[in-house]
Amino acid sequence: MVIEVNLIENFILATVVVGLLAVFAIFVKNALKKKHVGEAENNMPNHESDLSHVAKSPEDQKNMDNPDYMDIIKAAQKHAEDLLEETTRAASEMIAGGKQTNEHIEAQMDKVLQKIAADDIHSLKTTSSQFDREYKETLQDIQKQLQDAAYQAVENSKNTYNEKIETFTKELVKNGLSMQTTVDKKTAELLAKTESEIEEYKKSKLNKVDEEINTLVQKVYRDVLRTSIPENAHEEMIVKSLEEAKKDGMFKL
């Protein structure tokens, strides 16, 4: 990356220098052209009126009258024009060279940029992949931490609830046992009382039933036998009973 940055800086610097040179050359060319054209016009025959104007001073008038002076001026002008052409050409070459350089630099820049882009893409890809991996790892870590935290929270809650449930169960069992004992005791008492009452009731009912049976039997005997027993049979039974009484020693007369 550092190399690519230096190339870009050199390219920009060279472009600026070439541009400045080109501008300077054009400026010098125009200035010289403007000066020499005016002088030449003044010195040329078709510009005699102007030269005549220049040659108003006596010295100038005198120089103009000198043919060597005019030759020197023309040679200087020609030399200047040559120099200007050479400068222009050199500037054009420089500009063309600069253009070529620019194109070269541009191509290099493209390559560099492509390389940079490729590198950046690769880097981005790498970075992205790394980021993605790190992101996934981080996500996994977070997920794991969350899972661990959730698991821990669940475990804590579970332990807390287990403890509470255990305590509640113990209390419940304790109370249940106490209640069961009380219930058993009350049930036993009630059972004994009920059994006693049932026994008494049964006895009472059985006695009542016996009485009713006896009453019924007696009634049957009385109603059936008495009416069916004739008086002579009664008399015989009475005499028989007296015989038994006698046998039993009832009558000690």
Partner 1 sequence: MNLSALHQYLIVKDGVNKLVLLFEKLNGELFKESFTLDGFLTTETSFELTHAILNLLEENKINKSDRDGLQSFFTQIQEQISTLPVIHLMLAFYPKDKTIRAIHDWFYDNYKKTVLLDITVDRTLIGGSVVSFKGRANDYSLKNRIEQMQASD
Residues that bind partner 1 (CB under 8 A): 214, 217-218, 221-222, 225-226, 229, 231, 233-235, 237-242, 244-246, 248, 250-253
Give least dist CB 201 to partner 1, A: 24
Of the candidates 3, 16, 15, 19, the residue with the CA atom closest to the CA atom of residue 106? 15
Residue listed under structure tokens 């078709």: 46
Residue 217 CB, shortest distance to partner 1, in Å, is 7
Q: Which CB sits closer to partner 1, 56 or 252?
A: 252
Q: Alpha-carbon distance 30 to 24, whole Å?
A: 10
Which is nearer to partner 1, 146 or 229 (by Cβ)? 229
Cα 186 versus chain centre, distance: 65
Which residue's CB is nearer to partner 1, number 56 or number 247?
Answer: 247
CB of 203 to partner 1, least distance (A): 18
* Cβ distance to partner 1 smaller for residue 68 or 231: 231
- Round to whole Å and give the CA distance between 91 and 97: 9
Q: Distance between CA 36 and CA 41 in Å, rounded?
A: 8
148-180 burial by CB neighbour count: b if 16+ within 10 A, else e?
Answer: eeeeeeeeeeeeeeeeeeeeeeeeeeeeeeeee
Helix 2-43 vs helix 67-220: crossing angle, to nearest 10: 150
What single-letter amino acid sits at 174?
K
Compute the least distance from the CB of residue 199 to partner 1, in Å: 23
Neighbours of 21 (CB within 10 A): 16
Sign of CA dihedral 125, 130, 135, 140: positive
- Count CB neighbours of 43 within 10 A: 21
Alpha-carbon distance 71 to 54, whole Å?
17
Nearer to partner 1, 193 or 222 (CB): 222
Q: Virtual CA dihedral for 239, 241, 242, 246, nearest 10 degrees?
A: 140
Q: Please state the closest distance from residue 207 (CB atom) to partner 1, in A.
A: 15
What's the closest the beta carbon of residue 197 comes to partner 1, in angstroms? 29
Residue (20 or 245) nearer to partner 1, CB = 245
Cβ of residue 204: shortest distance to partner 1, in angstroms? Answer: 20
Q: Which is nearer to partner 1, 13 or 239 (CB)?
A: 239
